[in-house]
Structure 1
């Protein structure tokens, strides 16, 4: 099974990585799972296309599990029927939502010009048909065997059932430190740009695609794992400044350098 890190509107990288998974990693002859870890929108160049690609993602013989990220959560609430106010919309814009807002032909003045209710209706009319419902359908977590996939994290000492959606899509500490880990699974997560980390309680896969130009995934098979990465640059040097504390040093089995016109198979 594979998990794809935070996309953040980097559609070209997503297509390249999916193309690599199709061609070189996933075997149609046996059951596989691909988990997209969330944060499909904001900060990058093409959030709406990324959302559309994630929604349409289909690989023969492969189960696709789409998780909810905190940026997707913001957009889902604003586009849905929740009672959010102008301050909530402004908070989303301040943490990266402004790029998606501009993609929809909107600006900050629109938040106050006609009110949030009218803004919601306008956003719903701009988004592709069925997209608000798709955003609302994204799963907060998914478990396969000894692994729990979640966007952000969870409390090391609290049962999974005691977490609400906002915990799972936003938590950093005490999760990242992991002191007093009481769970019987390892968490595969994004949300915090850590580079690649393989620790007893968690595996981090967010390489900050919108900042570094590198979108990463991890391939898990039994007790084996390998990192996969795709970039439009000429190397993976952009990952060097990221903190990397992998306890099991692993080479990149797939370091894909995209050509100028290459996107990979959709």
Structure 2
């Protein structure tokens, strides 16, 4: 007998509405539009309880990573029902600040744009040329931003839904998942066709449109270059996609 939860069966806790939002990557404009739309729905409908879960990767590639972090930190401070999970790029940014590497994730995958959002230009062509810019960036990033990134959880679960940035390792209990898998896994997770203990809601791997599969939902629609940020609303067993675009 297969034990697991399918897309159609997955339900929120009674009286709770859930939202999940895909990878943002520096697109403060899309983030602000999406959050405003979600909050407008919540204020209009007044569900008994709610959560908004952001699935990680707030920095790199897009033009305003600083604005994204500031916005999400502020929203989380105002209401703990706004939840931000950590993505591999967020960890890469923190790692670069403490351990600069011209060949690491941050330097090779959009970190230049992140630094520019803090008004710092870094020459990433060599470690020697990189160091002055790194020192300037360490000074430019507010302690509040560093603390925000350092305290982001790897996962959260409500009802029949399990939220994380990248996915899970099939066959491993949800409460025993490795941190690296939660922010990095792809192939083993994507290829698995069986049901998981809960429906997995994730981002990390860009797709042309949200993937609504029997065992998982992928909301990463490459906002930084596509101009489309995707989310899903879940209430009871009802599920509805939301998109903002520029």
Same-fold call, TM > 0.5?
yes
Task: Give per-residue Cα distances to partners, 1:97-131, cap 9 Å, x unaligned.
Answer: 22112333131258623776x76654332012321
1:31 aligns with one of 49, 64, 71: 49
Mapped to 2, the partners of 1:61 and 1:30 lie a distance apart of: 15
Task: Give per-residue Cα distances to partners, 1:158-179, cap 9 Å, x unaligned.
Answer: 2234433221111111111224
Alignment of 1:71-110 (within 5 A): 71-80=89-98, 84-87=99-102, 89=104, 91-104=105-118, 105-109=120-124
Mapped to 2, the partners of 1:110 and 1:132 lie a distance apart of: 25
Alignment of 1:1-266 (within 5 A): 1-25=18-42, 27-28=45-46, 30-57=48-75, 63-80=81-98, 84-87=99-102, 89=104, 91-104=105-118, 105-109=120-124, 112-113=127-128, 122-181=136-195, 183-194=196-207, 195-232=209-246
Q: State whether residues 26 and 61 of structure 2, in contact with CA within 8 Å, keep that contact through their aligned partners in structure 1.
A: yes
Task: Give per-residue Cα distances to partners, 1:20-53, cap 9 Å, x unaligned.
Answer: 1111245445210000111111111111101111
Task: Give per-residue Cα distances to partners, 1:233-262, cap 9 Å, x unaligned.
Answer: xxxxxxxxxxxxxxxxxxxxxxxxxxxxxx
Q: Which has the higher contact order (CA 8 A, sep 6+)?
A: 2
Structure 2: runs of 5 or more not aligned: 1-17
2:220 counterpart SS class: coil
Mapped to 1, the partners of 2:79 and 2:210 lie a distance apart of: 28
Distance change >3 Å, CA 109–CA 60, structure 1 → 2? closer
Q: State whether residues 166 and 205 of structure 2, in contact with CA within 8 Å, keep that contact through their aligned partners in structure 1.
A: yes
Could you say what the CA RMSD is over the residues aligned between the two structures, in angstroms?
2.4
TM-score normalised over the length of structure 2: 0.83
TM-score normalised over the length of structure 1: 0.77
Q: State whether residues 38 and 67 of structure 1, in contact with CA within 8 Å, keep that contact through their aligned partners in structure 2.
A: yes
1:176 counterpart SS class: helix
Q: State whether residues 196 and 204 of structure 1, in contact with CA within 8 Å, keep that contact through their aligned partners in structure 2.
A: yes
Question: How many residues are treated as equivalent by the alignment?
Answer: 226
Mapped to 2, the partners of 1:115 and 1:147 lie a distance apart of: 42
Q: State whether residues 30 and 61 of structure 1, in contact with CA within 8 Å, keep that contact through their aligned partners in structure 2.
A: no
In the other structure, the counterpart of 2:8 is none
In the other structure, the counterpart of 1:242 is none
Distance change >3 Å, CA 179–CA 211, structure 1 → 2? same
Q: Which moved more, 1:96-105 or 1:106-115?
A: 106-115
Mapped to 2, the partners of 1:223 and 1:2 lie a distance apart of: 13
